[in-house]
């Protein structure tokens, strides 16, 4: 396996870990219980969410670093850190780099959650979604073989990334519907409380 193939495979595994991380985060937001539902066992989903995030971050970091070992085309450290002038696919590489930096902000703010404060941590955590969007745009649009070939959306690797993106979109939609339903019930309770006030006994 040459460095180009290794870098591409590392990126695919990173996408899988980050897909799992976001989906687990959405389940946590919906107060999913692994005891009540599948797998019907005690499972620390908070720890699983944390470690899939760390693993995904390390793999996203390793993905461009491996390109430094490619002999042709030659990538400099500057091309990896700030790929606007990288030898191939500078636009899509820059989109991928933006995903890396956004993820770094999310991970560092999570590690320093107590010091940062819940309000700031929660706001920064939303960067997961633009980071995922940038990651999938990079993965789908870029040529993993660095040959500048047009995008084949039915290629196995592209289909894998498209399915990861679909999983996040579907679960995100479910999360939104649960939030809307919960908000609607809360408003009904609030209205009902004032529509039928409790009478005080004299």
- Supply the pLDDT for residue 201: 53
Three-class SS state of 148: coil
Q: Are 64 and 28 in contact (CB under 8 A)?
A: no
The C-alpha atoms of residue 196 and residue 104 are separated, in whole angstroms, by 51
pLDDT of residue 16: 96
**Dist CA 21 CA 171 (whole Å):** 12
- Tens of pLDDT along the chain (202 residues)? 899 999 999 999 999 999 999 999 999 999 888 888 888 888 899 999 999 999 999 999 999 999 999 988 889 999 999 999 888 899 999 999 999 999 999 999 999 998 989 899 999 999 999 999 999 999 999 999 888 889 999 999 999 999 999 999 999 999 999 888 888 887 777 776 665 555 555 4
Per-residue model confidence (pLDDT) at position 199: 53
Contact 53, 88 (CB under 8 A): no
SS3 88: coil
Angle formed by the axes of helices 128-141 and 3-29, to 10°?
Answer: 150
pLDDT given for residue 120 in this prediction? 92
Helices (H), 112-155: 113-116, 118-125, 128-141
As a whole number of angstroms, the longest Cα–Cα distance in the chain is: 90
CA angle 64, 65, 67 (to 5 degrees): 70
| Residue 202: predicted pLDDT | 47
pLDDT at residue number 73 = 86
């Amino acid at each position: 396996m040459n460095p180009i193939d290794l870098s591409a495979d590392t990126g695919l595994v990173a996408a899988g870990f980050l897909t799992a991380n976001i989906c687990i985060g959405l389940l946590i937001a919906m107060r999913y219980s692994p005891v009540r539902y599948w797998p019907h066992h005690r499972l620390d989903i908070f720890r699983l969410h944390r470690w899939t995030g760390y693993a995904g971050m390390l793999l996203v970091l390793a993905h461009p670093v491996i390109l430094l070992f490619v002999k042709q085309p030659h990538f400099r450290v500057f091309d990896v850190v700030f790929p606007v002038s990288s030898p191939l696919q500078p636009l899509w590489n820059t989109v991928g780099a933006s995903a890396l930096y956004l993820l770094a902000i999310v991970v560092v703010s999570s590690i320093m959650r107590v010091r940062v404060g819940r309000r700031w941590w929660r706001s920064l955590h939303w960067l997961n979604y633009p980071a995922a969007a940038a990651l999938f745009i990079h993965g789908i649009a870029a040529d993993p073989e660095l040959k500048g070939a047009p995008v084949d959306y039915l290629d196995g690797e592209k289909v894998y990334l498209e399915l990861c993106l679909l999983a996040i979109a579907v679960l995100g939609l479910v999360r939104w519907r649960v939030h809307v339903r919960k908000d609607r019930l809360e408003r009904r309770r609030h209205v009902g409380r004032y529509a039928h006030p409790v009478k005080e006994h004299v």
